[in-house]
């Protein structure tokens, strides 16, 4: 008995030590903080819904003075707090704060409290992307020690009076709000101001540059996406220290004369996209700032490649996409010694000046001339190329061998052309390969080596034959595989389940055959989100636990609220997948496949047996198409659990029994088709069901109720024997369903998050080009 008591004592002591140690490490970053400051920090945390951050994350952003124990720095983790920042918040008791960053939290519907005035020692204040509304309180002008102020990406209104006294400002970012009025001369006269970002507001007044003998310190000025009236270019040309200038999409009524920028000798980055440019300044050897390394002129209605580009020997990044350029790309462009990133997409170019190897010795690493009118053979690729996109042109002939000789190549997109011949043998080293919609023949190369870098392989809509290459199992990074609309003849590739990240498998419209159920149990691809195998010759049935072990990782969301399946991006570009999916009864080409949902299309095969009740475990399913098969039995009642379902097509099978009433409760179900089966009884009542066309239910002799004309009452009432038979069938189905679910065991209800699509006709990737320290949105 004594031993047992001693054992309990030691166990409790151990547990106490663990808790103490956890608390110790939790607070280690706040070790210098006094007890009352720690209490105030916890009180501040408790003012909000803070399930987005744990206590250790919270205190990791805290710094206290070693001598006084007072909090001097507070930086919240992203997404930590949700709620309203109130005037009596304990935040305003930290009178010695020098650094405060609350960015990327959710203070939606909060106005900025006047009590920020209490934090008079602040030097850095960042409140970006929080959902703050209304005007900035005048008390902000009392924060005279501020060197960095970031209020970007909120819903703030008003003018710039708040910064009149902030003479120590080094960085001011008010971008993407609703500020209006003029830019006062006092702002541009701020002695230490180096970076000013006012993009995405409603500024209309002129730019006032002070007449002062002291030179401006402003180096980075971003005024794009405003509504300026009157002349603003001449005052800006007086800011001699500028290195970055963004004047994109100004909506001004006059053409911009590039010669006005000749005085900006230090200018490195010039953004003029979305404006009308003076034809005179484009056609002459204008005196453009000679040090320019980045020039953006997309959507400027340009009709010829500017001649002044010849003089820009430091130019690294050039974007003249979405203009009216035509003819041949001038050969001198590729002789610019430092040119690295070039975007010529969405013009009417039809060729290149010079020989087929005009690009070979260029310094270009990223080249996009998609959506043009190029014909003939593809030119030899630059030696250092990383990203090459030529989709949607009219190139012909074989894909050149230079593709295989470029060790740096990561993204190759030659889709929507007229290439013939075979698929290159060297795809293992390229991350993204899109050869969709060409005239390629032969078999897919079986040359994928171990540790291949391949993430995307799309060879859909070609004339390929043979088997799927078994060496694809070596592509451990593969996320997207599409071979749709070819002549491939093979059995279902169960062997691909060894790929840990495969999200999309598209085998549609080939000659695949045999069962789609593995020899034992469920399909169990670890990350599969889209399974598209329609229009083949698959047979057999689906086991009751077919969908049990489908488990996909929890989706994460980008700042724009979306995450695209298999996102492949770096600081300069991002690649999106394209799929043809049957959704809501229509085949559409989809781009930017989202990771939120599951989509399954097994239509137009010879699959029979019952629809597994385990389909109800796919609670994130958005689209299911089992049409034109040989499914029998009843429609599973477990569909009631598939609450995200938007499109359901069960037509052209041999299903019997009733349409489950539970389908009427699916609030997102916009399309349902159960036509041409052997269903009977009353169609479920519900807005989503009764609003469907008659064709969704036709071909079922026993169905009645809206939207069909057959009434379920009066002479059309089913006989008593029929009703009893239906009741017996329902009871048997319920018992079977319970038995199946008991067999699954607890803990198997996994969601499958996947990708569905924003139906844009045109596919693709786009090149995102950044200016210094910031993202350049398209």
Q: What is the pLDDT of residues 387-409, one digit of tens each?
A: 999 999 999 999 988 888 898 99
Q: Are strands 99-101 and 124-126 parallel, antiparallel or unpaired?
A: parallel
Cα–Cα nearest to 492, from 465, 519, 471: 519
* CATH number, span 27-158: 3.80.10.10
Q: For 76-79, which contacts have Cβ atoms below 8 Å and span 24 or more sequence positions?
A: 76/101, 76/102, 76/103, 76/105, 77/52, 77/53, 78/103, 78/104, 78/105, 79/52, 79/53, 79/104, 79/105, 79/106
The C-alpha atoms of residue 281 and residue 567 are separated, in whole angstroms, by 40
* 728 token code pair: 């017996």
Of 332, 409, 395, whose CA–CA distance to 367 is shortest?
Answer: 409
Residues 368, 764 contacting (CB under 8 angstroms)? no
Each domain of the chain, given as residue ranges in start order, spans 27-158
Q: Which residues are 433's β-sheet partners?
A: 412, 457
| Residue 748 DSSP label | -
- More confident call, 211 vs 528: 528
> Which tens digits make up the pLDDT trace of 546-559?
888 775 533 434 43
User: pLDDT tens for residues 316-333?
Assistant: 999 999 999 999 999 999
What's the rounded Cα separation, in Å, for the pair 175 and 128? 9
Mean predicted lDDT score pLDDT of the chain: 82
* Both tokens assigned to 122: 């602040």
Each residue's pLDDT tens digit, 55-100 = 778 888 999 999 999 999 999 988 889 999 999 999 999 999 999 9
Ordered DSSP codes for 529-548: -EEE--SSEEESB--TTTTT
**Are 569 and 575 spatial neighbours (Cβ–Cβ below 8 Å)?**
yes
Mean pLDDT, to the nearest integer, of 709-714? 75
Cβ contacts of 318 within 8 Å, gap of 6 or more: 295, 309, 339, 341, 342, 343
At residue 511, does pLDDT exceed 80? yes
pLDDT tens column, 264-283: 999 999 999 999 998 888 87
Give 579's pLDDT tier (boundaries 50, 70, 90).
low
Query: Between 368 and 767, where is the model more confident?
Result: 368
Confidence category of residue 17, pLDDT binned at 50, 70, 90: very low
| Separation CA 297–CA 278 (nearest Å) | 12
| Tens digit of each residue's pLDDT (9 = 90 or more) over 516-536 | 998 876 788 888 888 999 999
pTM value? 0.81
Q: Torsion-angle region of residue 117: left (phi > 0), alpha (psi -120 to 50) or beta?
A: alpha
In angstroms, the CA 580 to CA 506 distance is 9
Number of helices (H) and strands (E), helices first, in the chain? 8, 49
Percent of the chain with pLDDT over 70: 80
- Of the candidates 608, 678, 668, the one whose C-alpha atom is nearest the C-alpha of residue 642 is 668
How many other CB atoms sit within 10 Å of the CB of residue 43?
13
């Amino acid at each position: 008995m004594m031993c047992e008591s001693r054992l309990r004592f030691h166990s409790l002591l151990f547990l106490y030590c663990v808790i103490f140690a956890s608390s110790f490490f939790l607070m280690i970053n706040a070790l210098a903080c006094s007890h009352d400051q720690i209490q105030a920090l916890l009180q501040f945390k408790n003012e909000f819904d803070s399930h987005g951050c744990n206590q250790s994350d919270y205190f990791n952003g805290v710094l206290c003075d070693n001598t006084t124990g007072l909090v001097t720095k507070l930086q919240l983790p992203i997404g930590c707090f949700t709620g309203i920042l109130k005037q009596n918040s304990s935040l305003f008791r930290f009178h010695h704060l020098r650094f405060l960053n609350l960015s990327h939290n959710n203070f939606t519907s909060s106005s900025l409290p006047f009590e920020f005035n209490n934090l008079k020692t602040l030097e850095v204040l960042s409140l970006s992307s929080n959902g703050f509304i209304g005007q900035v309180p005048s008390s902000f002008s009392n924060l005279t020690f501020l060197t960095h102020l970031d209020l970007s990406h909120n819903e703030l209104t008003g003018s710039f009076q708040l910064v009149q006294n902030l003479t120590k400002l080094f960085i001011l970012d008010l971008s993407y709000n609703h500020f209006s009025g003029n830019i006062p001369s006092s702002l541009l006269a701020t002695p230490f101001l180096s970076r000013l970002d006012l993009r995405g507001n409603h500024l209309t007044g002129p730019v006032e540059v002070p007449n002062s003998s002291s030179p401006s310190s402003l180096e980075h000025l971003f005024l794009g996406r405003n509504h300026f009236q009157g002349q603003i270019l001449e005052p800006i040309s007086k800011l001699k220290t500028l290195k970055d200038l963004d004047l994109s999409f100004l909506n001004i009524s006059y053409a911009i004369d590039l010669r006005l920028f000749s005085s900006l000798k230090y200018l490195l980055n010039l953004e003029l996209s979305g404006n009308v440019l003076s034809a005179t300044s484009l056609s002459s050897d204008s005196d453009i700032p000679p040090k320019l390394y980045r020039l953006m002129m997309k959507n400027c209605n340009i009709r010829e490649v500017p001649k002044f580009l010849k003089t820009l020997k430091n130019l690294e990044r050039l974007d003249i996409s979405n203009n009216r350029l035509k003819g041949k790309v001038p050969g001198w462009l590729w002789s610019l010694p430092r040119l690295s990133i070039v975007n010529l997409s969405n013009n009417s170019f039809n060729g290149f000046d010079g020989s087929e190897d005009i690009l070979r010795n260029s310094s270009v690493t990223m080249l996009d001339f998609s959506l043009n009118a190029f014909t003939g053979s593809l030119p030899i690729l630059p030696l250092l190329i990383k990203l090459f996109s030529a989709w949607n042109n009219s190139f012909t002939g074989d894909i050149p061998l230079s593709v295989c000789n470029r060790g740096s190549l990561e993204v190759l997109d030659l889709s929507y052309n007229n290439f013939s011949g075979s698929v290159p043998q060297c795809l293992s080293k390229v991350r993204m390969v899109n050869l969709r919609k060409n005239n390629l023949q032969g078999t897919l190369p079986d040359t994928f080596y171990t540790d291949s870098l391949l993430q995307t392989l799309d060879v859909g809509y070609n004339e390929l034959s043979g088997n799927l290459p078994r060496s694809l199992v070596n592509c451990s990074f593969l996320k997207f595989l599409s071979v749709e609309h070819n002549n491939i003849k093979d059995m279902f590739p169960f062997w691909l389940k060894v790929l840990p990240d495969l999200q999309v498998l598209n085998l549609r419209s080939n000659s695949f055959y045999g069962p789609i159920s593995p020899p034992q149990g469920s399909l169990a691809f670890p990350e599969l989100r889209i399974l598209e195998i329609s229009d083949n010759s698959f047979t057999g049935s689906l086991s009751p636990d077919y969908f049990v072990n489908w488990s996909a990782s929890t989706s994460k969301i980008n700042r724009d609220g979306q995450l695209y399946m298999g996102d492949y991006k770096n600081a300069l570009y991002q690649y999106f997948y394209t799929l043809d999916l049957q959704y809501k009864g229509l085949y559409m080409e989809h781009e930017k496949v989202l990771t939120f949902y599951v989509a399954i299309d097994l239509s137009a095969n010879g699959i029979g047996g019952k629809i597994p009740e385990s389909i109800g475990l796919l609670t994130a399913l958005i689209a299911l198409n089992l049409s034109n098969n040989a499914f029998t039995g009843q429609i599973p009642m477990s569909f009631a659990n598939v609450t995200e379902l938007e499109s359901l097509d069960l037509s052209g099978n041999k299903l019997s029994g009733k349409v489950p009433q539970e389908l009427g409760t699916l609030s997102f179900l916009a399309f349902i088709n159960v036509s041409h089966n052997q269903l009977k009884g009353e169609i479920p009542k519900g807005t989503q069901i009764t609003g469907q066309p008659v064709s969704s239910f036709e071909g079922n002799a026993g169905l009645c109720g809206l939207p069909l004309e057959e009434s379920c009452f009066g002479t059309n009432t089913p006989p008593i024997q029929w009703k009893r038979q239906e009741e017996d069938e329902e009871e048997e189905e319920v018992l079977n369903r319970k038995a199946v679910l008991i067999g699954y065991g607890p803990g198997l209800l996994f969601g499958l998050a996947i990708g569905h699509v924003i139906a844009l006709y045109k596919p693709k990737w786009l090149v995102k080009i950044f200016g210094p320290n910031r993202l350049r949105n398209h």
